[in-house]
Structure 1
């Protein structure tokens, strides 16, 4: 497959791009232009943390998750921590097997290895033999079949449409440590707590407190990727103490902030997957 090297999305990025995917090495804080593609694509952070912004909301992609953006969705990527971003485009015949909306999946050990294989030197280094077309097709099929059975993860933070909810979202994005009640926030935006509760449920499919917890975990992932420790991150994101932060973070991410920050999140995820496989074999 011929490779056409192109400038990175920003001056600080190093990129390799090819018809079926790409790889961007981004320093922390770099972001892509706002764009859309004719084909849907998967993004994976081999290192660092990615934020994927679409009109539907924001997805945070740590090292054990994969984000899917369907064709035609306007989006922007941003790196938190030095990030190795991998991209795989899906043909329509494969894209129909995954959701028609932005979503985040748990990345099994197999998904991770297939993504790394499809975006590794075989795709961009002329000195390394490329996969044959049938072999690449088989890898893509395995990838999509794995993702079609993978659980969706609560790391997509939906973007509210109602002006009052958008005002609350802006306030909490700016100050995630704000612990105001929904009634208190309602006074600032001119709506009662009952109305706001209904809007959160109807528009976003979750309670205000579920949405705020996800927002705080999003901010926590960014701070951890930028090198902040657990205690400082807990305080900055609004938890009263590190233990409550650790519990909430572990419930959503599947590993503790300390193990995540030390880079052990992928190893944790692989061990869990192995345990689950062994458990399924037991009588």
Structure 2
């Protein structure tokens, strides 16, 4: 199957499309946000996105991105399920994915690299950082109110009044559709946006403020627990450093 390596500019959009085969997408610098009917996933220096065949999706580029893509036949499903999955990328898997997308790679070497990639991907830790898409109009409205101004700490009581639902009902919608509480969803949303801010070159302090943390230290603590690395380390990796 094919493999490609492309460079993309900040803000570039690859419009909605789908493939006949599965794709494994790795971004060695920058971040690629993958939007589907189910939600949004992020691929970056430490996470790769698995896109099952026939999945409609759109890409948005954040930062100067170098994107490595491997295509797999439909019978070569490395991961179960029919929705996108994000996996952790170890140092070894990173080098394998970069090597496997080198231009002009001899067929024999490409096959051997893919064989090892098969094994490593199947053993990789699933590391989702996903923003699911809301189906209920009131829940979707509440999510937009939060994401449109993350710097303001919106309470669920405030959101319930704005969308015309009781606080209890809105909390049930978050649990029912997203499988999480409102505070947990908001934290994930802020970390997701922080990834994009850091990739675009914002400082750790600027990112903390824009994404709604009261202090930089609180942001560093939350980001590190969620992503497994400090914001400064993530920022350097996303920039290819």
TM range (shorter): over 0.9
| In 2: Cα distance, 1:208 partner to 1:214 partner | 10
Shift of 1:62: 2.1
Question: Among 201, 207, 214, which residue is 2:188 paired with?
Answer: 214
| CA–CA distance in structure 1, aligned partners of residues 178 and 122 of structure 2 | 23
State the aligned residue count. 241
The alpha-carbon deviation at position 55 of structure 1 amounts to 0.7
Q: What's 1:243 paired with?
A: 217
Closer/same/farther in 2, CA of residues 265 and 213 from structure 1, 3 Å limit: farther
4+ residue runs over 2 A deviation? 96-100, 135-142, 262-267
Where does structure 1 lack aligned partners over 5 or more consecutive residues? 1-18, 124-129, 268-283
Q: Distance in 2 between matches of 1:252 and 1:53?
A: 21
Structure 2: which 5+ residue stretches go unaligned? none
8 Å CA contact 1:64–1:266 kept in 2: the answer is no
Cα separation, partners in 2 of 1:255 and 1:65, compared to 1, 3 Å: same
- The Cα shift of 1:265 comes to 9.7
The higher radius of gyration belongs to 1
Q: TM-score, normalised by structure 1?
A: 0.80
2:39 matches 1:57 = yes
CA gap 1:96/1:228 in 2 versus in 1, 3 angstroms: closer
* Structure-2 separation of matches of 1:263 and 1:190: 43
C-alpha distance after superposition, 1:65-95 (max 9, x if no partner): 0011111111111111100011111112221
SS of match in other structure, 2:18: coil
Q: What residue in structure 2 maps to residue 121 of structure 1?
A: 103
Aligned match of 2:167: 193
Instruction: Please tell me whether the aligned partners of residues 30 and 240 of structure 2 are also in contact (alpha carbons under 8 angstroms).
Output: no
